[in-house]
Amino acid sequence: TATDDLASLFRQSSRAVAFTGAGISTESGIPDFRSPGGLWTQNKPIPFQAFIQSREARAEAWRRKFTMDDSYRGAAPARGHLALAAMIRAGHLSGIITQNIDNLHQDAGTPDPQLIEIHGNGTYATCLACGRRHELSWVRQRFEASGGEPPDCEACGGPVKSATISFGQAMPEAKMRQAAAWSTDCDLFLAIGSSLVVYPAAGLPLAARESGAHLVIINREETPLDEAAHLIIRADIGEVLEGLTRRLGIGGLS
């Protein structure tokens, strides 16, 4: 089976890297962006420029953020997150590059040095002017007490934004450089649960492939990078990664 092929690629590999997208978290009950019913099919994303320029856009962004946080409160890591964390502990995986902002790789026990979040993290907020961190509980309290006004930074009065990267916003440069280095240095690159249409993120699997790594794509739908892959597994991520850990003799998936 394809999972057997994947297990044998892992046995030959000495430096494997996983690259994850929203598809690894759907089993945790968090919808992805582009599947039917996905987040971007319900609401268009608010571009960074709009967020900066308009209080109304900031208010709308926070409204949506709190609504989503309420519906996915208590989301727990799924089999995919747990499998990857177990593979890191067992020495089968060097690291995880994630586009996700849901903190579920950390919740699954992935050690910080083995995780790169290239689209930021949605569990806290920062000031766009001075960088000061603000907790979501503080933001929410301000937001609600003011009848839905977007809160400004306590230190400098700048706009406070969820610590995620929006369309039009600069990528975290050092993290992106590190992710590029992991991609070109690995010998096996596993793209998991991403439609692979958002750049520069989707350039990482290509960079890995061009540097000689085996490229594997696990995704239930086709992606534009399927032609570049050595192995494509169009199946459920939880099933595949659970099966993979079993074949690699890794336990403790709970």
> Any contact of residue 220 with ligand OAD (CB under 6 A)?
yes
Distance CA 147, CA 31 (A): 28
Query: Closer CB to Zn ion, residue 101 or residue 160?
Result: 160
CB of 122 to ligand OAD, least distance (A): 10
Query: For residues 198, 116, 236 and 92, what is the CA-based torsion angle, rounded to 10 degrees?
Result: 140
The 3 state secondary structure assigned to 43-76 is: CCCCCHHHHHHCHHHHHHHHHHHHHHHHHCCCCC
Distance in Å, CB of 158 to Zn ion, minimum: 4
Q: Are the C-beta atoms of residues 193 and 34 closer than 8 Å to each other?
A: no
Q: Calculate the alpha carbon distances from 1 to 25, 235, 236 in Å.
A: 24, 12, 14
Q: Which does 21 bind (CB under 5 to 8 A by kind): ligand OAD, Zn ion, none?
A: ligand OAD
Contacts to ligand OAD from residues 180-199, by CB under 6 A = 193-195, 198
Site for ligand OAD in 155-174 (CB under 6 A): 165, 167
Q: Which residues bind ligand OAD (CB under 6 A)?
A: 21-23, 26-27, 32-35, 38, 99, 119, 165, 167, 193-195, 198, 219-221, 236-237
Q: Which residues bind Zn ion (CB under 5 A)?
A: 127, 129-130, 132, 153, 155-156, 158
